[in-house]
Amino acid sequence: MISKNLESTSHQLKTIQKSYQRLKLSRLRQSARQQLRKDKQPGPQLPAVGKAGRMRRTARAALSIWLVVALLMLVSWGAEPRCCDSYSSYSALSFSPQLKYVNGPPPI
């Protein structure tokens, strides 16, 4: 029984190895075909990223971050209270506890 099980497992292993080899070979052939197609078709070649390309990407990222910060500053400036708003004092915007009287101030 053990030898039968061993032979069965050995046969399964050989089958898996053969299928793996076929898969590996087909992928190699496929990549070789793709490489040949790339070599035959003259397409636009991407330039190597040098110092200028890196600087351009850095400048683009810095500019986009700067624009976001400037936009946030503009929105916060537009949303701040004015003299005629009901929340004209900055104490109304603070997070400190405040006393509010429901029925007016207490008698003195």
What amino acid occupies position 32?
A: A
In a domain, residue 55? The reply is no
In a domain, residue 68? The reply is no
| Domains identified in the chain, total number | 1
| Predicted structure pTM score | 0.34
Q: What is the pLDDT of residues 46-98, one digit of tens each?
A: 555 677 788 899 999 999 999 999 999 998 888 776 665 555 455 555 666 66
Q: What is the pLDDT of residues 6-31, one digit of tens each?
A: 999 999 999 999 999 999 999 988 88
**Token representation of residue 106:** 């207490």
**What pLDDT is recorded for position 17?**
95
In a domain, residue 18? The reply is yes
CA 65 to chain centre: 15
In a domain, residue 64? The reply is no
Query: The domain containing residue 25 runs over which residues?
Result: 1-39
Count of residues in the chain: 108
**What pLDDT is recorded for position 62?**
96
**What pLDDT is recorded for position 52?**
79
